[in-house]
Amino acid sequence: MQLYTSPISSSARRVNLTVAHLGLQIDQKQMTLGKPEDRAVLATVNPNAKVPVLSDPARGIALWESHAIMQYLCDLNPASSAELYPADVVVRADINRWMFWVNAHLGPAIGPINYEKMWKKFVEGPDAQPDAALVARHERLVHVVMAVLDKHLENRTWAVGKTLTLADYSIVSTLMYRAATQLPLDAYPRVLAYVARVEATDAWKATEPPKRG
């Protein structure tokens, strides 16, 4: 198997967290997303030309979408993923619910802020400035979704059940640039404590992107 990935992608990060947690050895194809030639390579395995993509020629599939890849890897490794993605249908439904929540609510709230405050200068040039109105609008959405998560964590250590699962890697990877983009999270102490728990795991430490400069 080959994993097309990038250390700066939060979507790729959650797949790499799964790989690290399961102790898998997968050939890593590091993509530089700003290079047209790398985007062209990606387009041969993913029509969206984005990471991550898991190529599994032995089973005849090139799988894109990070959550689908995470679930696939767990299904291929049921013994080592028994807690990360349990076979119980009710527990899986709960894990899936939070992963869909990331796609439908958390990601759309945070993604535009990440772009405006981090990636815009790389894409549009060094003189590009954040759209303050857009950032403010999405910060209001961040408050909405963080209130939901903070309330959910009132009497919980993890998002689902009593152990860390795919849901936790999904949620916290989406927040990996919270400091750089100054996300307004100070009012959500349970979320911050939860993020710290995930970031203390060996898998999180093993997937830290390289420092710049």
Task: Report the pLDDT value the prediction gives residue 126, as an integer from 0 to 100.
Answer: 94
Q: What percent of the chain has pLDDT over 70?
A: 99
Same domain, 158 and 200: yes
Alpha helices in the chain (DSSP H): 10-22, 36-45, 66-76, 89-101, 107-114, 120-124, 132-152, 166-174, 189-199, 202-206
Chosen domain end from 54, 76, 98? 76
Closest CA to 196 of 160, 157, 151, 167: 157
Same domain, 53 and 121: no
In a domain, 83, yes or no: no
Same domain, 8 and 67: yes
Same domain, 98 and 167: yes
In DSSP terms, 195 is beta-bridged to none
Same domain, 58 and 108: no
In a domain, 41, yes or no: yes
The answer to whether residues 172 and 199 touch, using CB atoms and an 8 Å cutoff, is yes
Beta carbons within 10 angstroms of residue 44's beta carbon? 12
Closest CA to 28 of 52, 50, 45: 52
In this model, does residue 11 exceed pLDDT 90? yes
Task: Report the pLDDT value the prediction gives residue 23, as an integer from 0 to 100.
Answer: 98
In a domain, 170, yes or no: yes
In a domain, 24, yes or no: yes
Q: Quick one: tokens of 35?
A: 């290079």
CATH number at residue 104: 1.20.1050.10
Beta carbons within 10 angstroms of residue 193's beta carbon? 12
Same domain, 49 and 95: no
Q: Quick one: tokens of 151?
A: 């309330």
CATH number at residue 17: 3.40.30.10
Same domain, 95 and 63: no
Q: What is the mean pLDDT of residues 142-154?
A: 98
In a domain, 211, yes or no: no
d(CA 142, CA 187): 11
Same domain, 69 and 98: no
C-alpha distance across the termini of the chain, in Å: 32
**For residue range 47-105, what is the model confidence (pLDDT) as tens digits?**
999 999 999 999 999 999 999 999 999 999 999 999 999 999 999 999 999 999 999 99
In a domain, 82, yes or no: no
Tell whether pTM > 0.85.
yes
In a domain, 118, yes or no: yes
Task: Report the pLDDT value the prediction gives residue 213, as an integer from 0 to 100.
Answer: 43
Looking at the 3D structure of the chain, how many domains does it have? 2
d(CA 146, CA 135): 16
Same domain, 32 and 126: no
Same domain, 60 and 38: yes
Q: Domain range holding 68?
A: 2-76
Beta carbons within 10 angstroms of residue 203's beta carbon? 18
